[in-house]
Chains A and B, each alone.
Chain A
Amino acid sequence: MESPAPTASRRPLSYAAVFLVLAVITGIELGVKGLGLPRAATNVLFLLLSLGKASLVAAFYMHLRRDNRIYTAVFVLPVILFVVFALATIVI
């Protein structure tokens, strides 16, 4: 039905690997925050890193990577719309 034979991305070890990456990224974020570097640069870094973390959770833990692309579209399209709305709202 919906569950194909186990693939690499569904072994417990790779979930733990994803968690490790998430933890390391969070560690980097906290470290960089503590350094007090110029905000314009760190802001871009933080946004990109958080986009990376969110994508990892969505792709591997929510299984978007292995599942039908329609689920991905259902999730990603509102995200794009939200970004447009947030940008408009910030300067409105």
Chain B
Amino acid sequence: MGYQEAAHEDTFRAGRALGLNHLKLGMWLFLGSEVMFFGGLIAAFLHYKVNNPTPETGLLDVGLVGLNTFVLLASSLTVVSALAAIERGDTAAMNLYLLVTIGLGTAFLGGQGYEFVSLYRDGLTLSSSVFGSSFFTLTGFHGMHVLVGVLWALSTFVRGMGGAYSRNDHLGVEVFGLYWHFVDVVWIVLFTVIYLI
């Protein structure tokens, strides 16, 4: 009859011919823009780290944050395991992995919160110095992204428990995973740039 009644699959013909899914492409494009957003903040942080070195760097607890890094890396393992589970059709395992992810993400946020409070007690604040400003802004925005990720994980978990995903239909889990892993990749860069070098 009319084009509007044609099979929905025809809409993304060109993408399928290229081997691309429009939702995945959209997420990757978004992540590309997020690279530039964090890039701006990281560039500002590095500008001051290099040009305004400060002994305040010594206040950072590399060991504690190193532990937190393990936690976030582990959460990437649980997220990809959740995806692998639903690719096999194992909904129960997927939901369990998502639950653990939520726990690990929350633990990471807890660790960050503890670190922030300790630093504030030591006198390093958003406004105490250029280092404080750039440190808290950069790690704060990363933390906000983790929080969004935890909420998204929760939403994915709830939908998973409701039977939204299956062996043949789990794109939402994969797209969530891309976001989560990206936030982990950003942390890998932040950990190096803030705590190691």
Contacts and interface: CB of A to CB of B under 8 A. Distances in A.
Asked if chains A and B are in direct contact (CB within 8 A), the reply is yes
Contacts of B42: 82, 86
Contact of A75 (B18, B28, B73, B171): B28
A85 to B, nearest CB: 6
A58 B145 CA distance: 18
Contact of B80 (A61, A82, A90): A61
Interface stretch (B103-111, B128-136, B155-163, B182-190): B182-190
B35 A26 contact: no
Contact of B35 (A19, A33, A63, A79): A79
A26 B28 CA distance: 26
A22 B75 CA distance: 12
A86 B87 contact: no
Interface string B167-187: 000010010011001101100
Of the four ranges (under 10, 10 to 19, 20 to 34, 35 or more), the interface on chain A belongs to 35 or more
A16 B50 CA distance: 37
Contacts of B76: 19, 57, 61
A10 B21 contact: no
B113 interface: no
Nearest to A15: B80
Contact of B81 (A1, A12, A57, A82): A12
Interface residues of B, number: 52
Contacts of A70: 18, 20, 25
B100 interface: no
Interface of B: 16, 18-21, 24-25, 28-29, 31-33, 35-36, 39-40, 42-44, 46-47, 50-51, 62-63, 66, 69-70, 73-74, 76-77, 79-81, 84, 87, 171, 174, 177-178, 181-182, 184-185, 188-189, 191-192, 195-197
30 contacts: A2-B19, A2-B171, A6-B87, A15-B80, A15-B84, A19-B73, A19-B76, A23-B73, A29-B192, A30-B62, A30-B66, A39-B197, A50-B189, A50-B196, A53-B188, A54-B188, A57-B181, A58-B181, A61-B77, A61-B80, A68-B19, A71-B20, A71-B25, A75-B35, A78-B32, A78-B33, A78-B35, A82-B39, A82-B43, A86-B46
